[in-house]
Amino acid sequence: MRIAFLGTPEFALPSLAMLIARGDTLCVFTQPDRPVGRKAVLTPPPVKALALEHGVPVFQFEKIRSPEGVAAMEAFAPDLCVTAAFGQLLSRKNLAIPKYGTINVHGSLLPKYRGASPIQSAIIDGEAITGVTAMLTDIGMDTGDILMERATPIGENETYGALSERLAVLGAQLLKDVLDALEAGTLSRTPQDPAQATVCHMLTKEDGRIDCTRPAKAVHDLVRGTNPWPAATAMLDGQPLKIWETRRTDASLDAPAGSLRVANGRLLLKCGDGVLEILSLQASGKKRMDAATFVRGCPLDGKCLC
């Protein structure tokens, strides 16, 4: 099958690797190279690097909807398009090109968490279960018919980074099942129920701000859901402090919300209705470190986050 694969970050890699292993005739469309790090080194997207490693032709457009993007897709003449965390919206002209349509691998159980941050949002909202959906893309935002879904539990301490890696692999397995069913002529489709839909926005750094007056579970979920990006932050002595890992605890703390205490070698944070243990954190301009090491260099007992 001739497949145009549209993807950009690490989440898309297992799906692309699966297509390469299948032996399909492929081309890749991905985002342009971007400057990365303090030195702004121009860096290719992970999908581009994997594609070139296997001799798959790569096209990069700021907008796949542009006349040049549409023309490149038409020239390849795919039987099918597959998207996974591509980061751009397709136009009606794009969607009209492949004979079998466009299949999107999405990191939630649709129709919940349509949009740009489904994995982070599920963790931040305290969901116990999430999954991946293969859907037939239409002109809306993740509104197309569902082809297949796979569910998985979210671990109590699982971070966005760890869950994203698991869902990427699960998504590739799901995509393979979808393609097998498509080739066998047994693939079915189910319209989404718009009444059950929720939409999540693209996160910003501000979304990582910790409100210590919220319940301990909500703060813990925010820390998990923003690790590694945009990272959960609070202010300590007027400077930003990143909180990378926390753990729920039955410890009690008679202090205002935001108070920090060191007890039996553990760094505790009082929240609105409970206490969290902070496991790792990072001061502005410093390296990430475990709480015990941090406290040795910066006494925190009795201080308060805001």
For residue 9, what are its two tokens? 């970050």
Please give the pLDDT value at position 283: 96
The alpha helices in the chain, defined as continuous H runs, are 13-22, 46-53, 67-76, 92-95, 118-124, 160-184, 216-225, 291-297
Q: Pseudo-torsion of CA 250, 251, 255, 257, nearest 10°? A: -40
pLDDT of residue 29: 98
**Of 200, 192, 23, 25, which is closest to residue 125 (Cα–Cα)?**
200
Distance separating alpha carbons of residues 194 and 145, to the nearest angstrom:
11
Grade residue 160 by pLDDT with cuts at 50, 70 and 90: very high
The stretch 190-209 carries a mean pLDDT of 97
Is residue 98 classed as helix, strand or coil in its secondary structure? coil
Q: What is the mean pLDDT of residues 26-33?
A: 97
The predicted pLDDT at position 38 comes to 82
Domain ranges of the chain: 2-200, 208-297
Report the CATH fold assignment for 2-200: Rossmann fold (3.40.50)
Give mean pLDDT, residues 29-38.
93
The pLDDT assigned to 264 comes to: 87
> What would the pLDDT profile of 228-285 be if each residue is shown by its tens digit?
999 999 999 999 999 999 999 999 999 999 999 999 889 999 999 999 999 999 999 9
Residue 134, C-beta contacts closer than 8 angstroms, at least 6 positions apart: 103, 104, 105, 106, 146, 147, 148, 149, 171, 174, 175, 178
> What pLDDT is stored for residue 57 in this prediction?
98
The whole-number pLDDT of residue 39 equals: 86
Please tell me the predicted confidence (pLDDT) of residue 99.
96
Q: Return the pLDDT at 265.
A: 85
| Bridge pairing between strands 129-136 and 41-43 | unpaired
* pLDDT for residue 98: 98
Give pLDDT tens digits for 287-306.
999 999 999 998 899 999 98
95 exposure class (CB count in 10 Å sphere: 0-12, 13-18, 19+): middle
pTM for this model (two decimals): 0.96
Question: Which option is the CATH number for 208-297: 3.50.50.60, 3.10.25.10, 2.40.240.20, 3.20.20.70?
Answer: 3.10.25.10
- pLDDT tens-digit readout, 91-148: 999 999 999 999 999 999 999 999 999 999 999 999 999 999 999 999 999 999 999 9
